[in-house]
Structures are given as structure tokens and as C-alpha cells.
Amino acid sequence: MGSKKEMIMKKLEEVLDPELHISIVDLGLIYDVIIEEDNQVKITMTLTTIGCPLVSVIEEEIKVKLTELGFEKEKITLELTFDPPWTLEKLSKKAKAILGLF
């Protein structure tokens, strides 16, 4: 079994963007995951567009997935950033293939 961060990233691959139906990891939306000693999890991420109305849906799904790993929902925080802004270059090869961008 990998590190806690690796386990979290693997679990985040199950969280799909509600519009594109592609993993938020493959979309390149996750910038960082920090796990504190008390199992506080801080996820720094971005969105494909500023003001995305579905951020609460994505946040809830992240919390559901991480509670499956044993993390407490109250100890999971999301920090949104748009610096650096999201671009198509952040897409994984898998996401590019799904979107036909090869």
C-alpha cells in the first residue's frame, strides 16, 4: 500500500467532473494534497472555469470519497486557487484521449 497522499490521489481519480465526466485528477485540477499529523486533509485545487457552479458538487464528492478511506469529513478542506490558471496542458494523456485532443 502507498503513502496516504498516494491513496488520496488514487481515490480522487474516482471523483468525476459533473459536466465532462472525466476524473478531476486527469483534468489536472488537483494542485496539492497536504495531510497534517491529526489527519486534517487540505486539498488545493482549481476549476476549469472561474465561478463554476458545480464546485459544491465536486467538494461533496471529494469528501465522500475520502471518508471511504477513513478520513473525517470535518477535517477535509478544499482551497480553490486560480493561480496558476487551469489550461488544457494540465490534462493527462487519458483525458486528452477522451476529449479527442491528440
CATH at residue 23: 3.30.300.130
Residue range 65-93: mean pLDDT, rounded: 95
Residue range 32-39: mean pLDDT, rounded: 94
Residue range 89-98: mean pLDDT, rounded: 94
> Tens digits of per-residue pLDDT, 53-78?
889 999 999 999 999 999 999 999 99
**Judging by DSSP bridges, how do beta strands 41-45 and 76-80 pair with one another?**
parallel
Residue 29 lies in a domain: yes
Q: Can you give the pTM of this predicted structure? A: 0.92
CA–CA gap between residue 17 and residue 20 (Å, rounded): 5
Residue 58 lies in a domain: yes
Note down the domain range covering 31.
Answer: 4-81
pLDDT reading at 48 higher than 60: yes
Distances (CA, A) of 65 to 30, 39, 96: 15, 15, 24
